[in-house]
């Protein structure tokens, strides 16, 4: 397992671009309102047979929906992660909902009060065959607390940087655009919905014209010639995900403390004591080709087992855009539960995937997974699948 983690770190370091030609940094992008939405579907199917006996007929699907909104007075996050599948005659599913709401005390400061709801439903037809108890009740808990920090979605600026790169390679502009121009272009890109509402079916013309005007103001292009047909083609290619895809870019951090109150369990057992909760999340594009996201939660019951029993859950995600069409995505999950008198067995889970962008938000994916729990043998798996980003 240590070797696998070391390889992950090496991939991480290798993915960092050490050359920066742009005159703008991701933290230069400051907007009063920031929002982002991801809706993705993955599907895999595997078949194995020994002689005339089918040993595996495994079909699995995964739906991921993430959205967040951040403004000066408030912010909220909504994550839905649903997995379902069938192997031979066994059906199973795992659906998790995570909703967080943050209310800032002052618009000029980053202190906030928070509330979070986490609900999860797990079921399998293998638990109790032909029984109504197969699909158990929802496990849920509510967390109330306070914290500090903010999140900014800088995807519009990343798209502006991608457009700039195309225009440089096509000799449409004479050099890197000034920081002010890049931020102005990003603000126009971010206002796509506003252009749609005002100009309706003809909004693309006005949208692209305003971007071109900002480029002309830089003096790095022929003021009368404009970006030309190739420039408009590159803009459309980036902004509408034609033959390439710009991944979401976030930066910022949040940390919070609170009390987590369990409200129900999956097996109808007693819910137990409330727990002290410490959470943190951090996101940053290390370069314009990379994105790192980290999240950690620490829980400990508010009773006689305080600090004697605790749970640690952490996620680390890394995205590296190898080219306009090929992405490398990896993730590391760590879970650890410490209880008095019981030997704790940490759970490690490492995922890595190459995503090839085909067209119309469809990816071909090559996936690998490595997992290990305590001293048990390491489990390694690979798969080939199709990924569809609905939006």
pLDDT in tens, 192-211: 888 988 898 899 999 999 99
Residues 6 or more apart whose Cβ sits within 8 Å of residue 361: 241, 245, 388, 389, 390, 391
β-strand 90-104 against 74-87: which pairing, if any?
A: antiparallel
The stretches in the chain having pLDDT less than 70 are 1-22, 125-135, 222-224, 390-391
d(CA 5, CA 331): 11
Supply the pLDDT for residue 3.
57
Show the tokens assigned to 272: 């137990």
**Strand, coil or helix: 202:** helix
- pLDDT on residue 16: 46
Per DSSP, the chain holds a count of helices (H) and strands (E) of 6, 14
Q: Report the CATH number of the 2-7+31-153+255-389 domain.
A: 2.40.160
Q: Quick one: pLDDT at residue 126?
A: 64
Q: What is the reported pLDDT for 2?
A: 54
pLDDT at 170 (0 to 100):
92
- Report the distance separating Cα 73 and Cα 108, nearest Å: 9
Q: What contacts 24+ positions apart, CB below 8 Å, involve 350-354? A: 350/4, 350/5, 350/8, 352/8, 352/11, 352/328, 353/328, 353/329, 354/326, 354/327, 354/328, 354/329
347-359 vs 362-373, strand pairing mode: antiparallel
The tokens for 351 are 């995922």
Q: What is the pLDDT at residue 46?
A: 76
Rounded Cα gap, residues 363 and 359, in angstroms: 7
Q: pLDDT at position 92, please?
A: 85
């Amino acid at each position: 397992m240590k070797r696998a983690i070391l390889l992950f770190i090496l991939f991480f370091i290798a993915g960092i671009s050490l050359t920066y030609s742009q005159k703008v940094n991701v933290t230069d992008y400051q907007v009063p309102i920031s929002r982002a939405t991801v809706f993705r579907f993955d599907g895999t199917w595997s078949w194995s047979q020994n002689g005339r006996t089918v040993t595996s007929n495994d079909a699995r699907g995964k739906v991921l929906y993430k959205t967040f909104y951040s403004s000066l007075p408030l912010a909220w996050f909504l994550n839905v992660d649903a997995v379902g599948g069938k192997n031979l005659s066994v059906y199973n599913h795992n659906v998790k909902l995570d909703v967080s709401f943050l209310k800032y005390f002052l618009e000029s400061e980053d202190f906030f009060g928070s509330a979070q709801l986490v609900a999860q439903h797990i079921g399998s037809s293998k638990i109790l065959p032909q029984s109504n108890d197969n699909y158990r009740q929802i496990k849920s808990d509510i967390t109330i607390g306070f914290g500090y920090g903010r999140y900014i979605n800088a995807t519009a600026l990343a798209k502006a940087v991608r457009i700039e790169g195309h225009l440089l390679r096509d000799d449409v502009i004479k050099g890197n655009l000034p920081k002010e121009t890049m931020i102005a272009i990003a603000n126009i890109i971010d206002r796509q919905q506003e252009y749609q509402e005002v100009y309706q079916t003809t909004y693309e013309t006005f949208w692209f014209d305003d971007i071109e005007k900002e480029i002309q103001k830089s003096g790095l292009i022929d003021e009368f010639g404009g970006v030309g047909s190739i420039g408009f083609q590159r803009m459309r290619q980036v902004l509408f995900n034609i033959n390439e895809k710009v991944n979401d870019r976030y930066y910022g951090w949040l940390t919070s403390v609170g009390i987590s109150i369990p409200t129900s369990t999956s097996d109808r057992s007693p819910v137990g004591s409330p727990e002290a909760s410490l959470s943190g999340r951090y996101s940053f594009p290390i370069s314009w080709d990379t994105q790192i996201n980290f999240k950690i939660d620490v829980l400990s019951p508010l009773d006689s087992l305080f600090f004697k029993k605790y749970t640690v859950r952490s996620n680390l995600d890394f995205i590296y855009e190898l080219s306009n069409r090929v992405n490398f995505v990896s993730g590391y999950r760590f879970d650890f539960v410490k209880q008095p008198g019981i030997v704790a067995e940490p759970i490690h889970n490492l995922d890595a995937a190459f995503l090839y962008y085909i067209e119309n938000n469809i990816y071909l994916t090559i996936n690998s997974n490595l997992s290990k729990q305590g001293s048990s043998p390491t489990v390694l798996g690979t798969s080939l699948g199709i990924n569809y980003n609905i939006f």
